[in-house]
Structure 1
Amino acid sequence: MNNRLLGVIDATTYHEGLDELTLHRSLAAVPFAGRYRLIDFILSNMVNSGIESVAIFPKFQYRSLMDHLGSGKNWDLNRKRDGLFFFPSPMLDSPNRGIGSFNHFAANMDYFLRSNQDYALIANCFTIFNMDFSPVLEKHIEAGCDITTICKDDQPLDMYLVKKSLLIDMIRTRAETGYSCISDVVSDINHSYTLCNYEYTGSAVMVDSISSYFQASMELLNPSVWKALFLIDQPIFTKVKDEPPTRYLNGSSVRNSIVANGCQIEGSVENSIISRGVKIGKNVVLKNCIIMQKCEVQEGCVLDSVILDKDVKVEKGTHLSGSKETPYVVRKGTVQGALMNS
């Protein structure tokens, strides 16, 4: 299969409902599950499906995304032939109406022309799932489809499989047809293509708001959900960091939580996700929280249904609370103090 399918990840999507987490990073680079980023899921799925050439098309705030992915080594994509490619958008002021911008692709047409693969899988960067794309390609070829849309419960997942030669033709004729992206083609009831649907039966969550992000994160604390997403034979890869184990000091208590490496915990943590290098002080109470990398929660703080972005400091004695529907979000690199909330 690796000689037949090309991976294309659209990392240009912007959701207003995720403003608090995407001010300093692209949606693809939003942290998830303590040590992953959202793009890790689609990228790992492609690699596990035998795809050896993956192009990522970012737009805004992609420095952290490029830092996370690097040469693609952790996904076995640092290779002399094929591998991982970045193609930032040269048209910063033109909004994309859907997944797979033909203008963006046209600016990097050489990638498609030089690749040896026969088919292309165009996908978004913000779906949390674990899927093998091999059966999709098999069904696409057997049914004689022009475009296959991957769906969950009859709802599109913004993922499309198309023959590469047809994709190149659609890119070149975009001015005549009026199609600006692959999703434009699919949504046009007057198109002349053979459109097929492939129903994915596993779990899939499209993160498009703070509430969907928070809910998807909290569901990971259910062991059955975790095991269904992180499969032994289809691992989700991410950037590897060498950090010491987490230290649990006297008086600490951790229940039903995910805790990454390099943390120091003295307080109480329940139903929460703690990323790398976090410090939880003495007599702290955390419930239903997402704490991102290198945050510090000082002594005596009480946090319930809170999302702390990276490098946040919560000062001594601060109380913060939100709800499952509207969690309290603290922006990256800020200081949250008790006097600020009084």
Structure 2
Amino acid sequence: MKRRLLGVIDATTYHEDLEDLITHRSLAALPFGGRYRMIDFILSNMVNSGIRSVAIFPKQQYRSLMDHLGSGKNWDLNRKRDGLFFFPSPILENDQNKVGSFDHFAANMDYFYRSTQEYAIIANCYTVFNMNFKPLLDWHIRSGCDITELHHKDGQPMEIYLVKTSLLMKLIETRNETGYTCMKDVVRDIHHEYTVCHHVYDGYAVMIDSFQNYYSTSMEMLNPAVWKQLFLKDQPILTKVKDEPPSKYIKGSSVKNTMIANGCIINGTVENSIISRGVKIGKGSVIKNCIIMQKCQIEDNCYLDSVILDKDVKVQAGTQLTGTAQNPYVIRKGTKQGVLINS
């Protein structure tokens, strides 16, 4: 009982550099890897660590996130006791980049009062990694830490914190006296009274905070060595299950080093790309180094290189779109892109 963990996921962060992809959805719901959303990684890590009560704190544009999570069934969190809890934010200002806003938590204190877990993990929603938190909890207890902050092996803080639930509640309740607005404020204050420890995670981990690293991290998923570090048989990354027919490859099509989800129709050439479900690629079209999201339609004789298409984009016949690895060409959701439009 004493070693049980409570899961707390902050889903309020808004990275301006990703604006074209998160104007209509929260960062937590950003598609990744053809079939996943960003929140799937931290949520799966919690479930695989035996956490059975998870609270998600979103701020805005969270309809797609709620649709993705549903009752939590796909993560075995649709439970009579504990389970998945969703706490939309009151109107909070100036906290967009602070993981774990104490004001947001304070508006939902009943959740913490009613919890029976002695320890809590407070985490961001935009880190791609696969970690079991049980060894971290054991290390935290053995080390006599009040707060443990997770760091990556490159030295970067991962904005993931382990703390006693009672201490978390104290920090929330005394926020007006201490001036602490989030966990980051506590661990960065050189005058705090707590024993703060840093634990190094040496596995694969990337915090998605820009177009460039969203694109580069997505492309890394095409590397089998990276894929094997992230998608582990005994610690699966869980997601919402969609029923789609197998993808159809028309005679004459060509596919190399590409991840393609179900329900697609491929009638062109696709290389080094990630194709989400329900995508249609026309005859004579060439798709290279691209991320194509759900239900996009690319008509005949198009050429796309280093392009990110958000959901439901239609690319008209004969269109050419080219970006670079450092600056991928991004098309917003539902846009129609064509030769006349480009000119």
Q: Shorter chain as normaliser: what TM range?
A: over 0.9
Residues 1:104 and 2:90 are matched in the alignment? no
Residues 1:206 and 2:192 are matched in the alignment? no
Q: Counterpart in 1 of 2:117?
A: 117
Amino acid at match of 1:229: L
Matched-pair contact (CA < 8 Å) for 2:257–2:273:
yes
TM-score, structure 2 length as denominator? 0.98
Q: Counterpart in 1 of 2:293?
A: 292
Cα distance in 1 for residues equivalent to 2:95 and 2:45: 27
Cα deviation 1:262-319 (Å, max 9, x = unaligned)? 0000000000000000000000000000000000000000000000000000000000
Unaligned runs of 5+ in 2: none
Cα distance in 1 for residues equivalent to 2:79 and 2:249: 41
Amino acid at match of 1:299: D
Cα shift at 1:94: 4.6
Matched-pair contact (CA < 8 Å) for 1:2–1:51:
no
Q: Counterpart in 1 of 2:219?
A: 218
Cα distance in 2 for residues equivalent to 1:10 and 1:316: 42
The count of aligned residue pairs is 342
Cα distance in 2 for residues equivalent to 1:265 and 1:279: 6
Q: Counterpart in 2 of 1:20?
A: 20
Matched-pair contact (CA < 8 Å) for 2:283–2:300:
yes
Cα shift at 1:2: 9.3
Q: Counterpart in 2 of 1:52?
A: 52
Cα distance in 2 for residues equivalent to 1:115 and 1:69: 21
Give the secondary structure class of the aligned counterpart of 1:294: coil
Matched-pair contact (CA < 8 Å) for 2:249–2:267:
yes
Residues 1:306 and 2:307 are matched in the alignment? yes
Matched-pair contact (CA < 8 Å) for 2:127–2:206:
yes
Cα distance in 1 for residues equivalent to 2:166 and 2:127: 27
Cα distance in 2 for residues equivalent to 1:2 and 1:68: 32
Matched-pair contact (CA < 8 Å) for 1:101–1:181:
yes
Cα shift at 1:79: 0.4
Cα deviation 1:17-72 (Å, max 9, x = unaligned)? 10010010000000000000000000000000000000000001000000000000
Give the secondary structure class of the aligned counterpart of 2:144: coil
Amino acid at match of 1:334: T
Cα distance in 2 for residues equivalent to 1:97 and 1:304: 32
Matched-pair contact (CA < 8 Å) for 1:97–1:181:
no
Cα distance in 2 for residues equivalent to 1:182 and 1:95: 12
Q: Counterpart in 2 of 1:254?
A: 255
Matched-pair contact (CA < 8 Å) for 1:42–1:129:
yes
Cα deviation 1:237-277 (Å, max 9, x = unaligned)? 00001100000001110000000000000000000000000
Cα distance in 1 for residues equivalent to 2:288 and 2:213: 18
Cα distance in 2 for residues equivalent to 1:162 and 1:239: 30
Shift of the 264–183 alpha-carbon distance from structure 1 to 2, 3 Å rule, reads same
Unaligned runs of 5+ in 1: none
Q: Counterpart in 2 of 1:65?
A: 65
Moved over 2 A (4+): 92-97
Matched-pair contact (CA < 8 Å) for 2:13–2:97:
no
Amino acid at match of 2:60: F
Cα shift at 1:101: 0.5
Cα shift at 1:155: 1.5
Matched-pair contact (CA < 8 Å) for 1:33–1:273:
yes
Cα shift at 1:233: 0.5
Matched-pair contact (CA < 8 Å) for 1:254–1:268:
yes
Shift of the 97–217 alpha-carbon distance from structure 1 to 2, 3 Å rule, reads closer
Q: Counterpart in 2 of 1:41?
A: 41
Q: Counterpart in 2 of 1:245?
A: 246
**Identity of matched residues, %:** 69
Cα distance in 2 for residues equivalent to 1:167 and 1:268: 53
Cα shift at 1:86: 0.3
Q: Counterpart in 2 of 1:174?
A: 175
Cα distance in 2 for residues equivalent to 1:129 and 1:175: 34
Give the secondary structure class of the aligned counterpart of 1:7: strand
Cα shift at 1:92: 4.1
Q: Give the stretch that moved more between structures: 264-273 or 181-190.
A: 181-190
Give the secondary structure class of the aligned counterpart of 1:43: helix
Matched-pair contact (CA < 8 Å) for 2:92–2:104:
no
Q: Counterpart in 1 of 2:334?
A: 333
Cα shift at 1:95: 3.0
Cα shift at 1:3: 6.1
TM-score, structure 1 length as denominator? 0.99
Cα distance in 1 for residues equivalent to 2:257 and 2:208: 23
Amino acid at match of 1:194: T
Residues 1:126 and 2:126 are matched in the alignment? yes
Cα shift at 1:330: 0.2
Amino acid at match of 1:200: Y
Amino acid at match of 2:328: P
Cα distance in 1 for residues equivalent to 2:302 and 2:195: 58
Q: Counterpart in 1 of 2:321?
A: 320
Cα distance in 2 for residues equivalent to 1:34 and 1:262: 12
Give the secondary structure class of the aligned counterpart of 1:225: helix
Matched-pair contact (CA < 8 Å) for 1:2–1:50:
no
Superposition RMSD in Å: 1.0
Cα deviation 1:58-104 (Å, max 9, x = unaligned)? 00100000000000000000000000000010124453451110000
